[in-house]
Structure 1
Amino acid sequence: MADKCDLCLLGLIILSSLLTGTSGYDHVFISSGENVSLSCNKALSDCKSTTWTYYNRFRHSAGVKLITGGINNKDSERHERLSLESDCSLNIKNVTVEDYGYYTCQQYVNGEQQGPGATVFLHVLHVSVSSSSSSSSSSSSSLSSSSQTEISPGRSVTLSCQLYSYYRFSCDDWVSSRRIELLWVNQAGVDLKTDSRYQILSSSDQDHCILTLTTTLLNEDDNREWRCQLTQGNQLLTSVRYTVKYSVTVMSGAAVAVLLLALLWLICRKRADNKRGTGDSAVKDEDDHTGTYETINMSIPPAARANEQTDYVTYSEVTLPIQSL
């Protein structure tokens, strides 16, 4: 019962900080695949007494000790991606959606906390893609920042931009409370909601808000870039890029025909060259008399071969007909 009360109290504190922006709480927005540094209110000259703890209500509501006494906890499933800076900040390499949540930094001396500590909410922006066509089943893959995928024109593709946060908020709640908004834009930064070619829908699912973009790929979409942007007012917080890259095996019918003709021409030319070489070596005077031939092989004695490095000698094989008596 006490644990439930503590969780409720913690939830109220976090909710209040999210809605009112209470000082003492830091909000960090980052795209998956990037590196991030979470600040700590350093109260001591070194970080030997620093503890970093991670909380996530769906995965680790009780908290996980990432750094204890300034030392990386080897039992943590992501300890290889964590490190401590000289100012006691926590570095996280290659951020994933599983890193979202909130983190606390505290420093202790003889069991007593030194300074106010710090609480950092980490929000992760991530994009996943699914594509399908009438002739094949749907397939999907996850993408990180600046990612690409090889697909083909004619397919319907759906890009799902997801903001993972500690508490469940709809995109409308984020806009109304903190003016935070998700947008899909093109390379020029133009909002794709203004283009009827794209279908854009917003929704919420558990602890993240989602903005999907659906369109049918065209031939001219090769190397086209779309970006999911997370903004607060007029400020860009972070973004994820998605670049369409068609496979080199995707060719038009004309290109395939030209390639086949070129290949056929090369094969015919090769065969013609081989036939010409065989004919030249096999030419025989049709007026030659039928008879017995004697072959004379000209060779050089072994003793004379030592001079082969300085003298160039042409060797030949002569076949002479023996006339009938």
Structure 2
Amino acid sequence: MNMMGIQIFIRLLLLTCLLQTGVRSVKDSMFVYSRIGAVALLPCTKPAPAGCSSITWTFFRGGLVRYSQEVTGGRVNPDSDKSSRTTVTSNCSLALSDLTVEDAGSYVCLENKEAVTDVYLSLLSVSSGSPITELRPGGNLFLTCILFTYYDAGSCKPYSNVFRVNWLDEDGKRLPGDDRRFKLTENTRCNVTLHIKLQAEDNNRKWRCQVDTTKDKKITFLDFRSSFLFQKAQMNQTVKPPVTEECPAELPISRIVLCAVLPLMVSIVGFFTWKSDHKRAKTSAAVIELQDVY
């Protein structure tokens, strides 16, 4: 290749780079993280047109390769399975409530069919596989943290180094994975199970699953609290010692009155019984005396 050809090649290469840079500058990329069951706001970075009539939102989910149109002409698509949970805000952003696993994916805000903002939504979930009877000192607590990512939910394939899930204690210290008390099973960087050998001080303790990313400096986390519910139920059923006092001070007023009046009633009945018997005895004596006179 001569000198002229090299110069033309360099100019074409520079032009291509400039064009690609220009395309990237038109469309913004946003990474949003939320939790299962929570609410997520997906921003459209373009200045909002009046009524959002020129705005369209599309959704793409990797793995299942699913594509749908969530908003058309600024209005929620009634045929979308997200329609009851979707709202278009005044600035044309998209608000999703009661998030589910299927909501994780790539969303695109378009104005007049031109892409304006790419929003990548990932969702965090923590679940426990331990029965309630294990929530006690000496029991075993298994906690699984999964990040459902926007392109390969929950798998974080080896070629991706964007995400990593870590388990922390309530003080923010990363838990060891080879300790007697703690063991970590890392299925992938987005799917990590923590095994805890519970102790008495773990009652009502908080365990945190945190997502570290290279795309966003914001810390994303989800907490789980290990409350010993079974032990609390036992404590609430503690038997009190029997009361041996005849009329203890803590008895209700009605029972106190009964305790005071009952002896008095017995005394009165006894008095009248004695008086009646005494009168009957005198009458009998009088009859005997009369009989003796005759």
Do these two structures clear the TM 0.5 threshold for a shared fold by scoring above it?
yes
User: Do structure 1's residue 265 and structure 2's residue 243 form an aligned pair?
Assistant: yes
Residue 289 of structure 1 is aligned with which of 247, 263, 276? 276
How far apart are the structure 2 equivalents of 1:267 and 1:152?
Answer: 38
Structure showing the higher strand proportion among its residues: 1
Partner of 1:209: 190
Shift of residue 240, structure 1, vs aligned partner: 0.1
2:66 and 2:143 mapped to 1: Cα distance? Answer: 34
Give, in whole Å, the separation in 2 of the partners of 1:238 and 1:85.
Answer: 24
Shift of residue 83, structure 1, vs aligned partner: 1.1
User: Is there any run of 5+ residues in structure 1 with no aligned partner, and where?
Assistant: 1-22, 139-150, 293-320
Q: CA 1:132–1:267 in 2, change beyond 3 Å: closer, same or farther?
A: farther
The reply on whether 1:222 has 2:221 as its aligned counterpart is: no
Q: Residue 243 of structure 1: SS of its match in structure 2?
A: strand
- Structure 1 segment 58-207 matched on structure 2, within 5 A: 58=63, 61-108=65-112, 113=113, 115-132=114-131, 151-168=135-152, 169-170=155-156, 173-174=159-160, 177-178=161-162, 180-193=163-176, 195-204=179-188
Unaligned runs of 5+ in 2: 1-26, 287-294
- Asked if structure 2 preserves the Cα contact closer than 8 Å seen for 1:199 and 1:214, the reply is yes
Show the counterpart of 1:147. none
1:212 and 1:63 mapped to 2: Cα distance?
31
Structure 1 position 152, deviation (Å): 3.8
The reply on whether 1:250 has 2:234 as its aligned counterpart is: yes
Deviations 1:116-175 (A, max 9, x none): 332222111111111148xx7x9xxxxxxxxxxxx444431111000111333547544x
Q: Give secondary structure in 2 for the equivalent of 1:116.
A: strand
| CA 1:229–1:62: 2 relative to 1, 3 Å | closer
Could you tell me whether the CA contact under 8 Å between 1:32 and 1:94 is conserved in 2? yes
Q: For the residues of structure 2 that align with 1:162 and 1:96, how far apart are their CA atoms?
A: 13
Residue of structure 1 equivalent to 2:9: none
Rg larger in structure: 2
Instruction: Describe the SS at the equivalent of 1:187.
Output: coil
**Distance (Å, rounded) in 2 between the aligned partners of 1:90 and 1:281:** 81
Sequence identity (%):
25
Letter in 2 for 1:102: S
Aligned to 1:315: none
| 1:54 to 1:116, Cα distance in 2 relative to 1, 3 A | closer
Quick one: distance in 2 between partners of 1:98 and 1:281?
Answer: 78
Instruction: Give the letter for the 1:162 counterpart.
Output: I
TM-score (norm 2): 0.69
Contact 2:144-2:192 within 8 A present in 1 as well: yes
SS of 1:117's equivalent? strand
The offset of 1:33, in angstroms, is 3.3
The Cα shift of 1:244 comes to 1.6
Distance in 2, matches of 1:173 and 1:276, equals 86
CA distance in 2, matches of 1:129, 1:218: 17
Contact (CA 8 Å) 1:227, 1:241: kept in 2 or not?
A: yes
Q: Secondary structure of the residue that 2:98 maps to in structure 1?
A: coil
Alignment partners' CA distance in 1, 2:48 and 2:240: 74
Deviation string for 1:228-267 (max 9, x for gaps)?
A: 0011369443100111222231329xx82xx421xx2289
Q: How does 1:7-22 map to 2 (within 5 A)?
A: none
Q: TM-score, normalised by structure 1?
A: 0.63
Task: Please say if residues 171 and 181 of structure 1, whose CA atoms lie closer than 8 Å, have aligned partners that are also in contact.
Answer: no
Assess, with a 3 A threshold, how the Cα gap between structure 1 residues 33 and 72 changes in structure 2: closer, same or farther.
same
Deviation at 1:41, TM superposition (A): 4.2
Distance 1:251 1:197, change over 3 A: same
